[in-house]
């Protein structure tokens, strides 16, 4: 049994199929015009996929340091060598790094070739593979170069999670905790298939409402302003989801400091992040608060000064013009590891 969630974008809806054995739906997502497949993945990712078409497997390296334009260029050279045409298809099999990179490469190859994502990490299933944001890092920041390129379909085969390291599974929980505060849903009462499908639904609704992030889609960045700064300041010692966990509790404390929520709501954040999702909400010792503030001000979502998604009486909101002093004071009050 699988669950299908449709990302109902006007004129180009696509399905996200969630469940054990969902990968059998892949063939139905390939365009009729495709004669061959460029399958982008990484070593260590389960990839026994019957595509039914000649398939070139291209393995990229590991870690955010290879999520770069150089890797995109190497992918494009492989596409050229195999003669990938605009009618063919790129299939990304992996976590968010693979889907972001392969999605970007697909969006620029011959000015755009179809991509299908087979998400194999929990984080990619509930977040990264859905919604069409692709991107690569620059030395100056994460995901600074990217495109919007919606996939033709997404597979979230829960069987793939059997080989996912425990730390990476927990990392996916960081994004799930985010969805808890976006909607107020208690996802922990659902079984895994229902929980992943519900996250996909929440993400899909945000994407359909505001595909290009000119407004409400920015709420998906809850917890992410500090998270991105932490990832850079610690040279990716944190996984993305681990950084989001700290970022969510930080954002709650900042919202309390600016009078938007009360202490009970801050405690609710800590309870969900730490007790329910098993994540660590503590800030590492030894980080320079001024460096974190500088990184947060540079975050591409910062339009004028420091901008955060903050909780409030009416739910989450994008709040601009937060003073660096309030940010520093809130950082100083965070628990340390």
The residues assigned a catalytic role are 111, 133, 175, 203, 213, 217, 221, 224, 228, 240
Strand 306-310 to 3-7 pairing: unpaired
In three-state secondary structure terms, 155 is strand
Least distance from ligand NAD to the Cβ atom of residue 221, Å: 10
Q: Which residues contact 105 (CB under 8 A, 6 or more apart)?
A: 40, 72, 75, 76, 79, 90
Give the Cβ contact number of residue 184 at 10 Å: 8
Residue 257 near residue 314, CB atoms below 8 Å: no
Least distance from ligand NAD to the Cβ atom of residue 43, Å: 7
Query: What's phi and psi for 95, nearest 5 deg?
Result: -80, -165
Shorter beta-carbon distance to ligand NAD: residue 75 or 322: 75
Span near ligand NAD by CB under 6 A; candidates 11-19, 83-91, 123-131, 249-257: 123-131
Least distance from ligand NAD to the Cβ atom of residue 306, Å: 21
Least distance from ligand NAD to the Cβ atom of residue 119, Å: 8
Backbone dihedral region for residue 160 (phi beyond 0: left; psi -120 to 50: alpha; all else: beta): alpha
Give the Cβ contact number of residue 284 at 10 Å: 15
Scan residues 55-94 and list those touching ligand NAD (CB under 6 A).
Answer: 62, 64, 67, 94
Token couple for 110: 């011959």
* Given 25, 106, 123, 182, the residue binding ligand NAD (CB under 6 A): 123
* Given 198, 240, 253, 269, the residue binding ligand NAD (CB under 6 A): 240
Scan residues 25-44 and list those touching ligand NAD (CB under 6 A).
Answer: 42, 44
Binding site for ligand NAD (CB under 6 A): 42, 44-46, 62, 64, 67, 94-98, 100, 120-121, 123-124, 127-128, 131, 133, 142-143, 160, 163-164, 168, 171, 239-240
């Amino acid at each position: 049994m699988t669950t299908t969630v449709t990302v109902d974008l006007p004129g180009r809806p696509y399905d996200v199929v969630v469940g054990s054995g969902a990968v059998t739906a892949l063939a139905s997502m390939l365009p009729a015009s495709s004669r061959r497949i460029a399958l982008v993945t990484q070593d260590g990712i389960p990839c026994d996929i019957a595509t039914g078409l000649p398939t070139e497997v291209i393995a990229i390296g590991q870690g955010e340091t290879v999520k770069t334009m150089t890797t995109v260029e190497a992918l494009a050279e492989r596409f050229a060598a195999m003669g990938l045409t605009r009618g063919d298809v790129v299939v990304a099999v992996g976590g968010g790094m693979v889907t972001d990179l392969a999605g970007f490469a697909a969006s620029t190859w011959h000015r755009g070739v179809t991509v299908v994502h087979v998400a194999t990490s929990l984080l990619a299933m509930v977040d990264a593979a859905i919604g069409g944001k692709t991107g690569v890092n620059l030395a100056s920041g994460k995901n600074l170069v990217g495109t919007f390129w919606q996939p033709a379909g997404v597979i979230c085969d829960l069987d793939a999670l059997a080989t996912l390291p425990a730390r990476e599974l927990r990392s996916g929980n960081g994004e799930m905790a985010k969805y808890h505060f976006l909607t107020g849903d208690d996802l922990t009462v659902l079984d895994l298939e229902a929980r992943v499908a519900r996250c996909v639904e929440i993400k899909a609704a945000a994407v359909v409402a505001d595909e290009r992030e000119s407004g409400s889609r920015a709420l998906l960045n809850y917890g992410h302003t500090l998270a991105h700064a932490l990832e850079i300041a610690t040279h990716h010692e944190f996984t993305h989801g681990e950084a989001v966990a700290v970022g969510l509790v930080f954002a709650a404390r900042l919202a309390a400091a600016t009078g938007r929520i009360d202490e009970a709501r801050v405690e609710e954040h800590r309870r969900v992040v730490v007790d329910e999702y098993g994540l660590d909400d503590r800030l590492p010792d030894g980080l320079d608060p001024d460096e974190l503030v500088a990184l947060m001000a540079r975050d591409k979502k910062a339009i004028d000064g420091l901008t955060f998604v903050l909780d409030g009486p009416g739910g989450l909101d994008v709040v601009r013009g937060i003073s660096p002093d309030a940010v520093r004071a809130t950082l100083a009050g965070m628990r340390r590891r």
